[in-house]
């Protein structure tokens, strides 16, 4: 059994009014469902752990291939609205508890590994969710522009970020198979 340390006890006591506030209101119905699920998960955690937690700020401004992120110091959850559109049930069942578990692990145990035993324990014991670290959503709709490079094996796609680093002369990339330096077309 993991020992729970709570360095935020005074914060939790002063945020009591926030904890009893209704979930955030979003005009988008899917986003509102996520906000309600965040509140539900916090209520489950508080019942299971026997203590209250400050509610996080919720944002749907996350871009790219990540479904969600937890910003520990800011007590903020960011979700990817584009991926939410096609994966509502997975967000409700997996992504929301996953991100909340990061915040709770930080608040209960202090600085821990992002997907370490403390986080895994919260996922399993509190939320009864398998502690997977990645999703398997179709991310083609949110993929950024890619650039074709070549090696001895053939063409390889680089992200715009990596392409720009090559253009600025900051780095060179090598093929993992043949070891040759990638060249643009």
Which range marks the domain in which residue 148 is found?
A: 144-184
Count up the domains in the chain and report the number.
2
pLDDT (tens digit per residue) in 53-108: 999 999 999 988 899 999 999 999 999 999 999 999 999 999 999 999 999 999 99
Both 23 and 102 in a single domain? yes
Q: Is the pTM of this model over 0.85?
A: no
Residues 149-162: b if buried by 16+ CB within 10 A, e if exposed:
bebeeeebebeeeb
Considering the domain boundaries, does residue 4 fall inside one? no
Both 47 and 114 in a single domain? yes
Active-site option among 36, 46, 57, 99: 99
Both 42 and 91 in a single domain? yes
157 included as an active-site residue = no
Both 119 and 149 in a single domain? no
Q: What is the pLDDT of residue 148?
A: 92
DSSP label of 41:
H
CA atoms of 181 and 94, how far apart (whole Å): 40
């Amino acid at each position: 059994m993991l020992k729970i340390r709570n360095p935020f006890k005074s914060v939790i006591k002063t945020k009591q009014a926030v904890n009893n506030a209704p979930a955030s209101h979003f005009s988008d119905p899917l986003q509102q469902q996520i906000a309600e699920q965040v509140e539900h998960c916090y209520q489950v955690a508080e019942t299971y752990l026997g203590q209250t937690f400050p509610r996080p700020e919720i944002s749907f401004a996350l871009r790219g291939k990540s479904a969600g992120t937890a910003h520990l110091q800011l007590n903020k959850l960011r979700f990817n609205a584009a991926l939410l559109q096609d994966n509502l049930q997975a967000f409700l069942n997996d992504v929301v508890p996953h991100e909340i578990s990061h915040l709770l692990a930080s608040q209960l145990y202090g600085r821990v590994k992002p997907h370490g035993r403390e986080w895994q324990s919260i996922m399993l014991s509190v939320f009864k969710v398998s502690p997977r670290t990645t999703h398997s959503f179709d991310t083609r709709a949110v993929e950024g522009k890619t650039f074709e490079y070549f090696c001895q094996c053939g063409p390889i796609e680089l992200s715009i970020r990596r392409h720009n680093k090559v253009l600025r002369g900051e780095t060179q990339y090598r093929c993992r198979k043949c070891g040759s330096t990638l060249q643009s077309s």
